[in-house]
A = this chain, B = another copy of it.
Amino acid sequence: MKNTFGESVCVTLFGESHGNAIGAILDGMAPGIRVDANFIAHQMQLRRSVSSLSTARKEIDEVEILSGIRDGITTGTPIAFMIRNQDTHSKDYEALETVARPGHADYTAYCKYHGFSDTRGGGHFSGRITAGLVAAGAVAITALSEIGIHIGTHIAKCAGICDRNFEDYQKDITALSEMPFAVLDTNKAEKMRAEIESAKADGDSVGGILETVVIGLPAGVGEPWFDTLESVLAHGMFSVPAVKGVEFGKGFAFSDMRGSEANDAYASNGEAVFTTTNHNGGILGGISNGMPILFRTAIKPTPSIYKKQNTVDFVKKENTELVIHGRHDPAIVHRARVVVDSMTALILCDMLALRYGTDFLKNGGNTK
- A258 and B116 within 8 A (CB): no
A4 touches B27 (CB 8 A): yes
Interface-side segment among A47-55, A122-130, A134-142, A181-189: A122-130
With contacts A32-B116, A244-B250 taken as known, whether A270 is within 8 angstroms of B317 at the C-beta atoms is: yes
Q: Is the CB of A273 within 8 A of B10?
A: no
A265 at the interface (CB under 8 A from B): yes
Instruction: Assess the B235–A124 pair: CB atoms within 8 A.
Output: no
Query: Which residues does chain B contribute within 8 Å of A268, judged by CB atoms?
Result: 312, 314, 317-319
CB distance from A280 to the nearest CB of B (A): 7
The answer for the CA separation of A262 and B111 in the assembled complex, in Å, is 22
Binds B, one of A61-69, A144-152, A167-175: A61-69
- Contact (Cβ within 8 A) B247 A245: yes
| Beta-carbon contact of B23 and A262 below 8 Å | no
Given the complex of chains A and B, what is the CA–CA distance between A202 and B261 in angstroms?
A: 13
Across-interface contacts of A225 in B (CB, < 8 A): 2-3, 5, 13, 124, 129, 239
The verdict on A78 contacting chain B, using a C-beta distance below 8 Å, is yes
With A and B bound together, what is the CA distance between A319 and B241 in angstroms? 45
Contact of A244 among B1, B254, B301, B357 (CB under 8 A): B254
The listed residue (B32, B206, B239) touching A231 by CB distance below 8 A is B239
**A323 at the A/B interface (Cβ < 8 Å)?**
no
| Residues from chain B with Cβ under 8 Å of A206 in the complex | 257-259
Within 8 A of B (CB), among A1-28: 1-8, 10, 12-16, 19-23, 25, 27-28
B-facing residues in A283-342 (Cβ within 8 Å): 283-290, 296, 298-305, 307, 309-312, 314, 317-319
Beyond A77-B224, A236-B226, A260-B305, whether A287 also contacts B108 by CB under 8 A is: yes
Further contacts, 9 of them, CB under 8 A, given A76-B112, A76-B113, A259-B304:
A3-B27, A70-B116, A112-B287, A129-B225, A230-B243, A244-B280, A245-B247, A254-B300, A263-B305
Name 30 A/B residue pairs within 8 A (Cβ), A-sorted: A1-B4, A2-B27, A12-B25, A16-B77, A19-B66, A21-B80, A21-B82, A23-B66, A70-B118, A78-B124, A102-B264, A204-B258, A204-B259, A207-B257, A226-B235, A231-B234, A231-B236, A238-B248, A244-B249, A245-B254, A254-B301, A263-B303, A265-B310, A266-B310, A267-B312, A268-B317, A268-B318, A268-B319, A276-B310, A354-B354
